Structure 1
Amino acid sequence: MSMVKESVDIDVPVGSVYNQWTQFEEFPRFMEGVEEVRQIDDRHCHWRTKVAGAEREFDTEIVDQLPDERISWRSVSGDVEQKGVVTFQRLDDAHTRVSLAMDFEPQGVAEKAGDALGVLDRRVKGDLKRFKGFIEERGQESRGWRGRIAPTDADAAPSTSTGSGPLGSASPDDLRHS
């Protein structure tokens, strides 16, 4: 598996940033290659992506969601293998750091080559910058969901082996529940 880690500071309070991030169906507005996200229930989303002409559909499950702090997920169906965590760190009353750490398994020669060249890292960095512009332009969230999803014992998995260290408040160790 490969790991991507990126963060961005946003000039909006943490509650509004978190609330907007929970609006998964709006992800295509700022995430490159994401054609559609359909929220099935509180824990599950169906994704349709198109990257370099390749279309994919897969489902994800939220395994840990704590308002204003973090959301971790994992893929549960389709040919996409990934897990990750996004954290929200209050910097002060008007500023938030969003940090994302994601493990993924590149499929096929093109994805493996793109991974080696850092394509996904640049894409995630661009997605976070577009999210920053999206929420800062509005100044507040469109909606929000503040429910708690706690990991279960079945969600616990071994830590990733891609290293450790801080990423804002997200680290690869946070992925053990993803």
Structure 2
Amino acid sequence: MSKVEQSIEVDVPVSTAYNQWTQFETFPQFMEGVERIEQRTDTLTHWVTEIAGVKREFDARITEQIPDERVAWTTVSGDVRQAGVVTFHRLEDARTKVMLQMDFDPAGVTENVGDRLGFVKHRTSGDLTRFKRFIESRGVADGSWRGSI
């Protein structure tokens, strides 16, 4: 099992960053390799990804969701094995630290080599940078889901 920990500071209030993160279907707009996400229930999402020519589909279950604090998940189907949490930390009224922690199990030779070379860490860093540009350019979230799990 491998681990990734990344964080970024965004110039929006914590509620804005959190609200946008709950809009899973917008992830393809800032996550490289994510083709589509469908929110099937309050706790179940279906992902379609293509990374380095390898297409994957899997379901992820939201295991914990606390408004303005955290969203945690784990995969429940498909050949992708990962679990993680994104936390939101108020730094100032209009500044938030977004922290991603993820455990994943690379499959096959290509993914194991890519993991050792730091590709996953680089990709998640890029995704967070794109999230920062995405939410700061709007200043408001596309929507929100304020329920707790």
TM-score range (shorter-chain normalised) is: over 0.9
- Compare the two structures and name the one with the higher strand fraction: 2
TM-score by length of 1: 0.83
TM-score by length of 2: 1.00
Amino acid at match of 1:119: F
Amino acid at match of 1:76: V
**Deviation of residue 22 (structure 1)?**
0.2
The residue that corresponds to 1:155 in the other structure is none
Amino acid at match of 2:104: F
Stretches of structure 1 lacking an aligned partner (at least 5 in a row): 150-178
Cα separation, 2, equivalents of 1:75 and 1:139: 31
Cα separation, 2, equivalents of 1:5 and 1:67: 21
Q: For residues 90-101 of structure 1, what are the structure 2 equivalents within 5 Å?
A: 90-101=90-101
**Offset from partner CA, 1:120-153 (integer Å, 9 cap, x none):** 000000000000000000011011000000xxxx
Cα separation, 1, equivalents of 2:81 and 2:132: 26
Stretches of structure 2 lacking an aligned partner (at least 5 in a row): none
The residue that corresponds to 1:64 in the other structure is 64
The residue that corresponds to 1:89 in the other structure is 89
Amino acid at match of 1:6: Q
Structure 1 segments of 4 or more deviating over 2 A? none
Cα separation, 1, equivalents of 2:82 and 2:142: 27
**Deviation of residue 82 (structure 1)?**
0.2
Q: For residues 137-152 of structure 1, what are the structure 2 equivalents within 5 Å?
A: 137-149=137-149
The residue that corresponds to 1:28 in the other structure is 28
Secondary structure (helix, strand or coil) at the match of 2:145 reads coil
Say what the alpha-carbon RMSD is for the aligned residues: 0.3
**Deviation of residue 15 (structure 1)?**
0.4
Cα separation, 2, equivalents of 1:11 and 1:101: 21
Cα separation, 1, equivalents of 2:89 and 2:70: 9
Is residue 49 from structure 1 mapped to residue 71 from structure 2 by the alignment?
A: no
State the aligned residue count.
149
Cα separation, 2, equivalents of 1:142 and 1:55: 27
The residue that corresponds to 1:16 in the other structure is 16
The residue that corresponds to 1:116 in the other structure is 116
